[in-house]
Amino acid sequence: MNAKVINSILEAFSRTFKMATNNMDIVIQKPVVDKGDNRSYEVVVTIGFIGDLDGNIHMGLSTESAKVIVSQMMMGMPVEKLDEMSLSALGELGNMISGAIAVNLEKLGYKINITPPSIMHGNNIIFIKDGISLKFPMNIDNKFSEEFFVVLKSSI
């Protein structure tokens, strides 16, 4: 995978996440090639993109970390459960991140269109990664170890 593309995605993801969550701390660790271990999640936010690059970005979260993220997005309002409003906020976070990624990639000469985010919430959600997949472990607010994936359908 092209390091400039990956770094552009990481920069947009990190900057937008911090902005949307009122400077919540996020540390994205070194990527590893995902071997398809099929870890399950309770919340998955998926953003698709098509055009010069085709693929998806998936953010896998626990219910607890998702509630903390939504609470931060809502200026500290307590979030007791992931209801329709909370899931909508996570979708909006996905929209903001995907828009920032599209802008960054366009600066590199890649024209892409983004899909509306998909939010899945439940138990033991496993998603199939169709393509070359990089897994980025991330630490959120020094409390939650979560992951996000960049999946490209062709190499760049």
pLDDT at 44: 94
pLDDT number for residue 37: 67
Dump pLDDT digits (tens) for 76-96. 999 999 999 999 999 999 999
Burial class (CB in 10 A: 0-12, 13-18, 19+), 96: middle
In our burial notation (b when 16+ CB lie closer than 10 A, e otherwise), range 41-79 reads: bbbbbbbbbeeebebbbbbbbebebbbbbbbbbeeeeeb
> For the packed helices 84-107 and 63-73, what is the interaxial angle rounded to 10 degrees?
80
Q: How far apart are CA 107 and CA 128, in angstroms?
A: 30
If one counts every other C-beta atom within 10 angstroms of the C-beta of residue 97, the result is: 26
Mean pLDDT computed over every residue of the chain: 90
The per-residue pLDDT for range 21-69, each reduced to its tens digit, is 999 999 999 888 887 767 789 999 999 999 999 999 999 999 999 999 9
Give the count of domains, the chain: 1
The CATH number for 142's domain is: 3.40.1550.10
**Residue 89 in 3-state DSSP?**
helix
Write out the residue range of the structural domain in which residue 96 sits.
Answer: 3-152
Element (H, E) at 138: strand 132-140
Residue 32, strand partner residues: 135
